Amino acid sequence: MKNPAPTTETIREYVRERYGAIAVEADAGEPAGCCGGAPKTDATACCDADEQGKAAGQGGCGCAPAGSADGCCTAPENYSAQLGYSAADLASVPAGADLGLGCGNPLAIASIKPGETVLDLGSGAGFDALLAARQLAGTGRVIGVDMTPAMVAKARRNVAKAGHANVEFRLGEIEALPVSNATVDLIISNCVVNLSPEKPRVFAEAFRVLKSGGRLALSDVVAVKPLPDDIRAQLPLIGACIGGATLVDELRAMLNAAGFQRVDIDLKGASRKFIAQWGSDPRVADYIVSAIITAWKP
């Protein structure tokens, strides 16, 4: 008998609780990323030193790789360096802003211009938003939106430490953005859209808040072949940025249906190395890969 698919609200609440716990444990000095923030019945168990602890969680390591030389239990800054962030990037943000929860570097292809308004979907502790502010060099504006109160609070503390006056963090869901129509030049996001159970709404909202000529620059995981039902039905795998991955053609169709043009989904084959470490299920790297997704509002 197939496991029933979790409901939209069940997924949303699970993700909110999981990432809220990661924020709280990071503040308490516990390991960030997949190594903290959830009980051993969840995806964090992959980082346990003992096999029993690993077996308790089949969900993988969240949006960061697992315990190996390249893996999730390494320091978040080391993982982020593997994703393409420079030493200068990592040194420019307060300690605790980088929780090692991404799967790429959307800022590498964002081409931020002075004076732009940048929106970060699922801004977490503020890592990419703060780096966007650094690129704006005091001009423009950065808005981060996250549905987890603990993450928003943490991001606000981080921006206060960083001293950026043009960055704010708002509590809200990316399916119903607390942002006015046609006010944003650029939307970035890092391994977050896959967590949404309502991706067409995410893209419709992104289209709504972008100005004409505005653009998306997302890093996310995508499915290169249909995920088995037993992967898609497990909340720990959804929360670990695995079970919610969308097929490339379906993702492109969603973006086009929202009104976007010039959609490009650039698969990063090298990401299979760290994706293979995300969990105890060896099939994961056969099904998902990290991608850079760009699209424009006409």
Q: Are 147 and 16 in contact (CB under 8 A)?
A: yes
**Interatomic CA distance for residues 138 and 136, integer angstroms:** 6
Which amino acid does the sequence have at 105?
N
Q: Are 273 and 62 in contact (CB under 8 A)?
A: no
Whether residue 128 is contained in a domain is answered as yes
Q: Which residue from 290, 205, 189, 185 is spatially nearest to 254, judged by alpha carbons? A: 205
pLDDT for residue 127 is more than 80? yes
| Structure confidence by residue, pLDDT tens digits, 189-203 | 999 999 999 999 999
For residue 272, what pLDDT band results from cuts at 50, 70 and 90?
confident
pLDDT single digits (tens) 110-126: 999 999 999 999 999 99
Mean per-residue pLDDT, 262-278: 85
What is the rounded end-to-end Cα distance, in angstroms, of the chain?
46
Q: What is the pLDDT of residues 47-63, one digit of tens each?
A: 443 333 333 333 334 45
Q: Return d(Cα 233, Cα 244) in angstroms, integer.
A: 9
Q: Is the pLDDT of residue 46 over 80?
A: no
Q: How much of the chain exceeds pLDDT 70, in percent?
A: 83
Tell me how far apart the alpha carbons of residues 155 and 164 are, in angstroms, rounded to a whole number: 12
- Asked whether the predicted pLDDT for residue 280 surpasses 80, the reply is no
Which domain, by its residues, includes 185?
8-296
Instruction: Note whether residue 2 is domain-resident.
Output: no
Residue 72 burial by CB count (10 A; 0-12/13-18/19+): exposed, middle or buried?
buried
Give one word for 95, left, alpha or beta, with left for phi > 0 and alpha for psi -120 to 50.
Answer: beta
In a domain, 3, yes or no: no
Q: Give the span between the Cα atoms of 168 and 162, in whole angstroms.
A: 12
Residue of 155, 146, 138, 154 lying closest to 119 (CA atoms): 146
pLDDT band at 233 (very low <50, low <70, confident <90, very high): very high
Looking at residue 182, its pLDDT comes to 99
Beta strands in the chain (DSSP E): 117-121, 141-146, 167-171, 184-190, 210-223, 246-247, 261-268, 288-296
Q: Is residue 135 part of a domain?
A: yes
- pLDDT tens digits along 129-174: 999 999 999 999 999 999 999 999 999 999 999 999 999 999 999 9
pLDDT band at 76 (very low <50, low <70, confident <90, very high): confident
Per-chain mean pLDDT for the chain: 87
Q: Look at phi and psi of residue 138 and say left if phi exceeds 0, alpha if psi is from -120 to 50, else beta.
A: left
User: Cα 9 to chain center, whole Å?
Assistant: 19
Report yes or no on 1 lying in a domain: no
34 inside domain: yes
CATH number (domain holding residue 194): 3.40.50.150
| pLDDT of 223 above 50 | yes
The pLDDT value recorded for residue 175 is 99
Residue 258 lies in a domain: yes
Residue 94 falls inside a structural domain: yes
The overall longest dimension of the chain from CA atoms, in Å, is 57
Total tally of structural domains belonging to the chain: 1
Q: What's residue 47's pLDDT?
A: 43
